[in-house]
Amino acid sequence: MARPRGGHGQGARLRGWLPLGSLAGDLSEADPVARVRPAGAFARWEDMLGRGLAAMRDRGELAADADPGELALTLLAAVQGGLLLSQVRGETRPLEAAIDTVLARISGLAVPAPNAVMGARQR
């Protein structure tokens, strides 16, 4: 499971990456009622990721014991944490490391396609 890479250390490109994360953080401290909207946005994002991962598991592309909800939460947390650290540091390396790590975890749960296994055996 490879991900495309962009430019490295491009601090200017990081501006504006965190509106939801920043808003949620600010509101959770200042106004518990107002934080409902960003919390809902994160929940929808997590749900979409979880449904996609569940579909992969149901098609046999992920191990039967893979937990789509846990993987979705981990992916969302990795992206948000990576974005925050990247913005603070002015470089993309933290986001890249976070995404690479969570994708490696998901890839570790991937089930090889039957023809890929047969092809590997025939070589």
Domain count along the chain: 1
Model-level pTM? 0.72
Q: Kindly report, residue by residue over 89-114, the tens digit of the pLDDT.
A: 989 999 999 999 999 999 999 999 87
In this prediction, residue 30 carries a pLDDT of 65
CATH number of the domain bearing residue 83: 1.10.357.10
Is residue 72 within 8 A of residue 46, CB to CB? The reply is: yes
pLDDT: which is higher, 88 or 57: 57
- Higher pLDDT: 29 or 69? It is 69
Asked if residue 35 belongs to a domain, the reply is yes
Domain that holds residue 64: 17-122
Q: Is residue 97 situated within a structural domain?
A: yes
For 67, the enclosing helix (H) or strand (E) is none
Sign, CA dihedral 41-47-52-53, equals: positive
In a domain, residue 4? The reply is no
